[in-house]
Amino acid sequence: MSDDLKSGRIVIVGASLAGLRAAETLRDEGFVGQLTMVGEERLPPYDRPPLSKQVLLGRVRAEETRLPRRREVDAQWKLGVRATGVDPIDQCVVLANGEELPFDRLLIATGTRARPWPKAEEAALEGVFTLRTAEDAAALAERLDAGPRRVLVIGAGFTGSEIASACRERGLAVTVAERGPAPLIGALGGAFGAFAAKLQLAHGVDLRCGVTVTALNGRDGRLTGAEFSDGSRIEADIAVVALGAVRNTEWLADSGLAAGPRGLACDAGCRAFNMYGIVTDNVFVAGDVARFPHPLFEYQLLSLEHWGNAVAQAEVAAHNMVNPGPQRRPHLSVPAFWSSQFGLNIKSVGVPTFSDHVVIAQGSVEERRLVAVYGYRGRITAAVSVNRAKWLEHYQRLIETAAPFPPEWDGVEPPVSRTPVPSDVPDPKVLSHGPTVALTGHLPDRRLTLKHWGG
């Protein structure tokens, strides 16, 4: 039995971070069969986090973010071609060029794409960008080099905030428009968002919260400016649409799998569910496209857009693809991600949106170095550090052991106040940027959120 699993045909759809790490793990674990990698992008697997950071600053070229290879994968690469469907009966992946790839086991790692500007005509204006691929980043960096008069960033999630930060570092004028009350609140809640707002203002960003962009204006096919819901307007020659991500699941519409806008649902072992909620045993999923249950967060299904999750989940999925039942592992890693913006390193562990309150455990907002701890019903569920990432392992352990909230001890750099405040986790519907962590069950802080937003 287990010998069978080490051979046969495996197809991986999505040749990016999760796909590559899964392929490497398959070989590490002794898979000797036929391996095929299908990817819509022409470039071999590359890294996305630098695209909104070093690449926009002109420090690294977009073509230079190739992912380092951990080992040879000996695969057949089909790059620049889209998979259009999975035939669950014949067990094959269908490609846009008509080719059919039969498989014994399939890994789906198709990630997400940038949510486009909803009005196609405006989106087509020269100067309007989204940022998801190396191509996007190269084109945007080139335009920033040319010294635009003003850049408009639509959406103040992580990507939008990083883009704004890069523009300010280049000395460019930037307007950020966010429908919610502050930047980053989709991932970190309103209390943290207030800090993020101050940070952007201090760095000279023209930050406009609580507004939506109602129109992108153009002349002769080029962007000239934008209008806002509060009646104001600006001139800008670049607009970056940073409205969050859309899961690449449409191609699975006829596959019979539990795929939808929130991702492809799977069990803790990365095995995809079919549309009836029955777990499959030959279709696996990993990375941004996956939606998986997590025991630390009341078994809610989580959709994450985190680099570390893509790697960890790919490794578990690959392991489980080539090992029999008793040796299979659960994907239980605590969510974690980082961001750098406005000279700060922000890192998060756990799920900050799974919280009702937040308290500063170390440092202070004034000093711009702190660890904020999030709690839900008296236990610690997340921690976010600003320039203090090295302590986070400790907080991760507190999350894993459901330690009581608020933490009561004094550590290095004790905080000024230890009174928790509501974490103000918003309903994602009020954000213009999508959340990078989606709890696809109920939102714990919904009631508090509504209560606190009036002020």
Partner 1 sequence: MAAADTLFRRITDYANRADPYPLYAELREHGVARQDDGSYLVGTYHEIAELFHDPRVSSDRRNRTVPDDSGEAPGIPVAFIGRDDPEHERLRNMAMRPFGPPHAAERVDSMHGEIAQIAGELIDGLRGRDRIDLVEDFAYPLPVTVICRLLGVPREDEPRFHVWAEAVIAGFDPTPDSDPAERQRTAMQARSAMGEYLGELAESRRGKQSEDMLAAFVNDPGPSGGFTRPELMATSVLLLIAGHETTVNLITNSVLTLLRHPEALELLRDKPELMPRAVEEVLRYEPPVQLLPQRTALTDIEIAGVTIPKGAPLILVLASGNRDPRRFQEPDRFDPTRPDNQHLGFGSGVHSCFGAPLARLEGQIALTALIHRLDGPRLLQDPPEYRRSPVLRGPRHLPLAISGVRD
Ligand X SMILES: Cc1cc2nc3c(=O)[nH]c(=O)nc-3n(C[C@H](O)[C@H](O)[C@H](O)COP(=O)(O)OP(=O)(O)OC[C@H]3O[C@@H](n4cnc5c(N)ncnc54)[C@H](O)[C@@H]3O)c2cc1C
Chain residues in the site for partner 1 (CB under 8 A): 361-363, 367, 369, 371, 388, 390-394, 397, 409-413
**59 C-beta neighbours (distance < 10 Å), count:** 12
Please identify which residue in 11, 12, 40, 422 interacts with ligand X, judged by CB under 6 A: 40
Please report the DSSP string for 149-188 in residue order.
SEEEEE--SHHHHHHHHHHHHTT-EEEEEESSSSTTHHHH
> Distance (Å, rounded) from C-alpha 201 to C-alpha 204?
5
> Distance (Å, rounded) from C-alpha 421 to C-alpha 290?
32
Structure-token pair, residue 248: 């690449």
Instruction: Go through the chain and tell me how many residues it has.
Output: 455
User: Which of the listed partners (partner 1, ligand X, none) does 46 bind, with a CB threshold of 5 to 8 Å by partner kind?
Assistant: none
- Residue 347 · residue 389 · CB < 8 Å: yes
Closest contact distance (angstroms) between CB of 400 and partner 1 is: 12
> Distance (Å, rounded) from C-alpha 8 to C-alpha 324?
14
x/- map, 213-252, ligand X, by CB under 6 A: -----------------------------------x--x-
Please identify which residue in 14, 218, 225, 407 interacts with ligand X, judged by CB under 6 A: 14
User: Which of the listed partners (ligand X, partner 1, none) does 315 bind, with a CB threshold of 5 to 8 Å by partner kind?
Assistant: none
**Proportion of the chain in helix, strand, coil states, percent, rounded to 5:** 25, 30, 40
Please identify which residue in 129, 192, 337, 395 interacts with ligand X, judged by CB under 6 A: 337
Structure-token pair, residue 305: 């857009």
Separation in Å, CA 425 to CA 103, 315, 374, 406: 43, 31, 11, 17
Please identify which residue in 122, 178, 288, 445 interacts with ligand X, judged by CB under 6 A: 288
Please report the DSSP string for 20-43 in residue order.
HHHHHHHHHTT--SEEEEEESSSS
User: Which of the listed partners (partner 1, ligand X, none) does 369 bind, with a CB threshold of 5 to 8 Å by partner kind?
Assistant: partner 1
Nearer to ligand X, 93 or 359 (CB): 93
User: Which of the listed partners (ligand X, partner 1, none) does 159 bind, with a CB threshold of 5 to 8 Å by partner kind?
Assistant: ligand X
- Residue 139 · residue 117 · CB < 8 Å: no
> Distance (Å, rounded) from C-alpha 124 to C-alpha 130?
11
Tracing tokens 């991760």 back to the chain, one arrives at 396
> Distance (Å, rounded) from C-alpha 451 to C-alpha 422?
10
Contacts (Cβ under 8 Å, ≥6 apart) of 54 = 60
Count interface residues toward ligand X (CB under 6 A): 35
Question: By CB under 6 A, which span of 16-24, 177-185, 277-285, 413-421 interacts with ligand X?
Answer: 16-24
User: Which of the listed partners (partner 1, ligand X, none) does 52 bind, with a CB threshold of 5 to 8 Å by partner kind?
Assistant: ligand X
How far is the first Cα of the chain from the last one, in angstroms, to the nearest whole number? 63
Nearer to partner 1, 227 or 400 (CB): 400
Nearer to partner 1, 121 or 408 (CB): 408
Please identify which residue in 25, 36, 65, 112 interacts with ligand X, judged by CB under 6 A: 112
**448 C-beta neighbours (distance < 10 Å), count:** 19
Nearer to partner 1, 185 or 383 (CB): 383
Closest contact distance (angstroms) between CB of 160 and partner 1 is: 24
Please identify which residue in 31, 103, 117, 307 interacts with ligand X, judged by CB under 6 A: 307
x/- map, 250-279, ligand X, by CB under 6 A: -x----------------------------
User: Which of the listed partners (ligand X, partner 1, none) does 305 bind, with a CB threshold of 5 to 8 Å by partner kind?
Assistant: ligand X
Residue 159 lies near ligand X (rule: CB under 6 A):
yes
Closest contact distance (angstroms) between CB of 409 and ligand X is: 29
Nearer to partner 1, 33 or 204 (CB): 204
Nearer to partner 1, 198 or 368 (CB): 368
- Residue 206 · residue 174 · CB < 8 Å: yes
User: Which of the listed partners (ligand X, partner 1, none) does 83 bind, with a CB threshold of 5 to 8 Å by partner kind?
Assistant: ligand X
Give the footprint of ligand X on this chain (CB under 6 A).
13-14, 16-19, 38-41, 48-49, 51-52, 82-83, 109-112, 131-132, 159, 248, 251, 287-288, 305-308, 310, 337-339
